[in-house]
Amino acid sequence: MKKPHFNFTGLVACTLVSLACCHKDPDNVQMLINTDLEVGGSQPNAWIAGSNSSGSLEWTMEEAVSAKHSLKINQTTTTGSSYWMQICNHDIPLGRDLIFSAKIKGKNITGMGVALDIRVDNTVPGIGAGSQYANSHKTVIAGDFDWTTYTVKLSNLNKDAKTITVFLSTLPNTTGTVYFDDISLVHN
């Protein structure tokens, strides 16, 4: 009786190829949904608009970096602020660094400007005072400018984090029009 021929080298090669195909890089994992802003009905999916001022918020096709849509805030008074936000409460990368970025275009932005913010809470939903923050407030994002990428880094995410909220906002005492596109929240 003939023994079956076993090709050990072929088995090892197939195993390595399948592992390489299934390997997911633990860094730079996108945590947000609808980052190109192209999915939605009357509003973009996963994005929530808010304002405590007379600013108007729109999901618009007036300006965009990629594809057709962007988020717009037209801030007409210096009282209060307006924002777009997204909440993430799944697959929280405890102990990792978060990098939040967006492409921003400004038209006649005066005052304190616009900002990117990361808020971390140890509750679901995130209520009360946040437990950790990072923002772009040290960089004044104002004036007239074409699409520019801005980034905020939050180092060493709390071990008890349960909710991460990102904000694209106008700061108090700001007027003008701002557009946001190609938004990203990754960890490394």
Dihedral sign (CA 23, 29, 35, 40): positive
In the chain, the largest separation of any two C-alpha atoms, in whole Å, equals 90
CA dihedral 53, 56, 110, 105 (to 10 degrees): 140
Cα 168 from Cα 84, distance rounded (Å): 5
Asked if 44 contacts 69 with a C-beta cutoff of 8 angstroms, the reply is yes
pTM, two decimal places: 0.84
Written as six digits, the tokens of 76 are: 């007409």
* pLDDT tens-place string over residues 7-56: 433 333 332 333 333 334 467 899 999 999 999 999 999 999 999 887 89
Domains, the chain: 26-187 (2.60.120.260)
H-type helices in the chain, by residue range? Answer: 8-22
Task: Please tell me the predicted confidence (pLDDT) of residue 80.
Answer: 87
* pLDDT tens-place string over residues 53-80: 878 999 999 999 989 999 999 999 888 8
